[in-house]
Amino acid sequence: MPISGGDEREQASVHLARGAFHHRVHRVQGVLTVIVGAAIPWLLPNYIRDASWLSAEEKARLQGQIDREEAQKKIVGATTRRQGFLDPRVLLTTLTCFFLVCANFGTVLFLPQILKPIFPSLNNIQISLLISLAFVIGGIGGILCGRHSDRKGDRKWHIVACAALATIGYGYAAVAPTPIAQFAGIILGVLGIWSIFGVFWAYAGDLLGGAAAAGGLAFVNSLGSLGGVVAPNLLAYAAQASGSFSGSLWVLAGFSVLTGVLAAVLKALPIAQPLRAEAS
């Protein structure tokens, strides 16, 4: 039955109202972000010695830890401006970041579209709850993996292991026989990828120091973030070519494999152990 002109106008007004609401939300978010960013120089100190909430003993201990880390980076890390952009280890770290971001952005942007055909009877709110569950598990994994990495004094192999877990998860989800099994595979994939981020940026921080720190970290982040442009297009192409989102899941598995392979080539760096407060 054709839709009447009144129904069309009513639907158009609903879409316009929703669009105007989203625009207002985005504007508010943008304004708040700018306000917080502008206030940071006045809210946070530049140096440990300026942190009013720390005692003199705590300041001395923290400053000593930073001095030890910087001294170690001068021996095994990248500390000059030139090294921050051209050191082979920085370039390899940047490439690792690129594929890690590809896997993450591909997951975040495509997960609703991937889950909808798997659970066709669920509405958008229920799909959102499933996505939230996967991300909560991934967030918990990131915290636990980061703490374990600190305790063991290792970054490299934690990244490799998590990338392998993500590869297994996404690959299994692409061929799993039931919707629940597919979702379980996706959760494993999210858990693996999200567990990498804290450890990866800790590795980048262990590598870059001195004059190389600010520019080098920005370099790694800026070029790595290009994965957010590449990944959605590749996932869309894979879904269209394969006729289902299984193709997209295989692409995510491929991004995870490349992340792990590149991480395995990274040079393992020593981690300066924190100074312990003396027992009173």
pLDDT digits (tens, 9 = 90+) for 7-55: 555 655 555 555 666 678 778 888 999 999 898 888 888 888 888 888 9
DSSP 169-228: HHHHHHH-SSHHHHHHHHHHHHHHHHHHHHHHHHHHHHHB-TTHHHHHHHHHHHHHTTHH
Q: Where are the domains of the chain?
A: 5-44, 79-265
What proportion of the chain, given as a percentage, has pLDDT over 70? 89
Q: pLDDT band at 270, cuts 50/70/90?
A: confident
Q: pLDDT band at 243, cuts 50/70/90?
A: confident
Backbone angles phi, psi at 276, to 5 degrees: -95, 140
Burial of 101 by CB count in 10 Å (0-12 exposed, 13-18 middle, 19+ buried)? buried
CA 26 centroid distance within chain: 22
pLDDT digits (tens, 9 = 90+) for 100-129: 999 999 999 889 989 999 999 999 899 999
> What pTM was computed for the model?
0.81
Token pair belonging to 56 = 């003199």
Distance CA 242, CA 101 (A): 23
pLDDT (0 to 100) of residue 273: 62
pLDDT (0 to 100) of residue 175: 94
pLDDT (0 to 100) of residue 52: 86
pLDDT (0 to 100) of residue 41: 85
pLDDT digits (tens, 9 = 90+) for 139-159: 999 999 999 999 998 999 999
CB 220, CB 90: distance < 8 Å: yes
pLDDT (0 to 100) of residue 278: 47
pLDDT for 69 beyond 70: yes
How many CB atoms sit inside 10 A of residue 143's CB?
Answer: 12
Output 87 or 17, whichever has higher pLDDT: 87
Average pLDDT over residues 223-230: 93
pLDDT (0 to 100) of residue 10: 60
pLDDT (0 to 100) of residue 17: 58
CATH class of the structural domain 79-265: mainly alpha
pLDDT (0 to 100) of residue 15: 56
pLDDT (0 to 100) of residue 7: 58
Average pLDDT over residues 253-273: 90
pLDDT (0 to 100) of residue 129: 94
Output the CA angle 60-65-71, nearest 5 degrees. 120
